[in-house]
Amino acid sequence: MAKIDFGGVMEEVVTRDEFPLDKAREVLAGETVAVIGYGVQGPAQGLNMRDNGVNVIVGQRQGEHYWDKAVADGWEPGKTLFPIEEACERGTIINYLVSDAAQMILWPTVSERLNEGDALYFSHGFSIVYKDQTKVIPPENIDVIMVAPKGSGRNVRLNFLDGSGINSSFAVHQDYTGRAMERCLALGIAVGSGYLFPTTFEKEVFSDLTGERGVLMGALAGVMEAQYNLLREKGHSPSEAFNETVEELTQSLIRLVAENGMDWMFSNCSTTAQRGALDWAPRFRDAVAPVFEELYESVRSGKETERVLAANSQPDYEQKLRAELDAVKNSEMWRAGAAVRALRPENQKK
């Protein structure tokens, strides 16, 4: 591992220099990686591994949209695409990439097909950490490992195709064969990670659930809506409110942050913007700190897991979810957003 200074704290990470693709292929030679589930992470990780020369098959329910998607992506029924039961029987490494709720439901099907020395691979610590709720308890005679890309399946694939890769955390929960770590790192490189950093199943799920409910999605959506609504109440037009809330952030400022950090973004804005941001950032930080504390405790205690599993297990969940998403889509703010996006120069040329 390479030692890197992260803001004064030294951490060990694994890059493609320490663990090159050729080494990953050697470790995985003779293995059959069965990607179970072709929804969010399954397509990206499966295609990336296939492109990297790993022996990959896909397990998916026949007759579903995702089966057809797998066929469209070049997986061949009876050769590289199988029903879930058969894929599990054929695989020596089971990449368990169905949704968290589906992992709980499918576990009896998967667990009874695990053989001694197999590896069970996750991209999220959810089912293992909250085993009292999910009942996902692996047998003792297999490896249990995790590679968790820090991005959506779409970006895992896009970053792989452009050569950049996406950063991932990794962890070994159970090492039966003595090869769990090398299997884990090999898979991390094979799925296209930019670099890999160590974690535990518990730390991964706590940070992940907090992050997606917080800055990455929940807090971002909530703060945007609050500012947009305020500007509209004060008499600003939908176009002005949306541009000042979302468009400038996503099309300009966040790209500056991505390039060189927040301080660099501040230094490349007007002095008026600099002063305002530096003055108000601590007030927002202090205002939301109690909310984040409450959120983290809800994650740690399992309350968030209980809510997720209960909601996702309802037979009409998809219908209810569609109604919630439609409410967001049809709100004035995001209808304004659709109009703004349509006016972008690249869309005007279409």
Catalytic residues: 124
Taking a C-beta distance cutoff of 8 angstroms, is the pair 336, 238 a contact? yes
Count CB neighbours of 114 within 10 A: 18
How far apart, in whole angstroms, are the C-alpha atoms of residue 99 and residue 87?
17
Considering only CA atoms, give the Rg of the chain: 22
Specify the DSSP element, H or E, that contains 5: strand 2-6
How far apart, in whole angstroms, are the C-alpha atoms of residue 124 and residue 133?
15
- Give me the helices (H) in 52-125, please: 65-72, 84-90, 100-111
Measure the N-to-C terminal CA separation of the chain; round to a whole number of Å: 47
Residue at token pair 């991390």: 188
How far apart, in whole angstroms, are the C-alpha atoms of residue 260 and residue 267?
11
